[in-house]
Structure 1
Amino acid sequence: MKLSYVYILKCSDDTYYTGVTSYLEKRLEEHNSGAHPGSYTEKRKPVELVWYSEFTDINLAIEKEKQIKKWSRLKKQALFDGKYDELPNLARKSFE
């Protein structure tokens, strides 16, 4: 069974990048080495893996990646901080 991973990286400029891959360690190395010129993380190195989840179905992984990319920064932080009960209340909007 081939696994796929949805992952969130914290970039050097304090932004988050969400992606999907079948080879998590290799992909993290690619982000940090600048293997993909013009990519979001190319000028935001180094990046740090802050969260990932495994999937046995690549289609579900892609669906989850697209969902997380739409989330607010606070909602992403709640996810990787393990504050799952807060996720439903953190929509994409400004909080003060």
Structure 2
Amino acid sequence: MEMIMDCFFENVFSEIDRADLLARYKRRNMVEYLSTVIQACSHVEGQPQEACRSAVASALNFHASTRGQNGQVCLMGKYHNVLYVAARLAFDWKLEHSET
């Protein structure tokens, strides 16, 4: 699951337009898409909490990485909105006791 999420953020998410997640419905669509991936991986692995934890951790790592490349200043746009997506995933999947 970690590899899938890391590849998604490196290869797919990084290529979308910076303003693509400004609209709430687009963030909701991203949450639905990632929830589908989490559901599929948790069905195979049998650990939905771990699958969600990997998705949230990958989103947070993406944000930290892009912020780090900009002198620890958040670039806003999709780079900041990914935090809303991660928070919604954690809420929807009732993620518990995560260090992320």
- The structure showing larger relative contact order (alpha-carbon pairs under 8 Å, at least 6 residues apart) is 2
TM normalised by structure 2 equals: 0.29
Higher share of residues assigned strand: 1
Higher share of residues assigned helix: 2
